[in-house]
Each structure stands twice: as structure tokens, then as C-alpha cells.
Amino acid sequence: MVLGQTVHLSGATREEFLADPEWVAHEEVHLRQVRELGTVRFLWLYLVESARVGYYQNKFEVEAREGARRFIEGRRS
């Protein structure tokens, strides 16, 4: 979970997180989203979007998954 400019982990160690480049790339997209929107606005829009369409279809999550996918594909090229 991203709060401000920090990724907070639950159920995983820092080492486990850093060993998973797709997960790191996913959270980096959220960090960019927070920088662009500001912490409070991001959190508000994220919560509203989640309530409206659910976690999986949340546009912020869709963008983060897509960004992580592109990052991984770019590493393979």
C-alpha cells in the first residue's frame, strides 16, 4: 500500500518485495499517481473509484497492473 511517498508492506518483508520486480513496478506507478494528484486527492479518488467499481476494476489499479506488465515486457526485450 502506498501512503504519501512510502510503500507500506503487510505480510511480506522488504526483501520479498524488492525481489519481485513486477510488484515494485506496480507500486512505483502508485507512487507516481500520488505525486501527480497529491496524497489526499489520490486517496479520496482511489476510495471513490473502489466503491464505484471494486478493487480489481479500479482505474488506479488497472493502470498500475498495466505499468508493471509493460515494465516486465520491456525487461524481456
Residues 9-58 pLDDT 10s: 999 999 999 999 999 999 999 999 999 999 999 999 999 999 999 999 99
Count of all residues that appear for the chain in the document: 77
Residues 4-16 pLDDT 10s: 899 999 999 999 9
Q: Residue 65: what pLDDT?
A: 98
Q: Residue 43: what pLDDT?
A: 95
Q: How many domains does the chain have?
A: 1
Q: Answer positive or negative: Cα dihedral of 9, 18, 31, 48.
A: negative
Q: Residue 72: what pLDDT?
A: 94
Rounded Cα distance, 75 and 62, in Å: 20
Q: What is the pTM of this model?
A: 0.92
Quote the domain boundaries for residue 40. 2-76
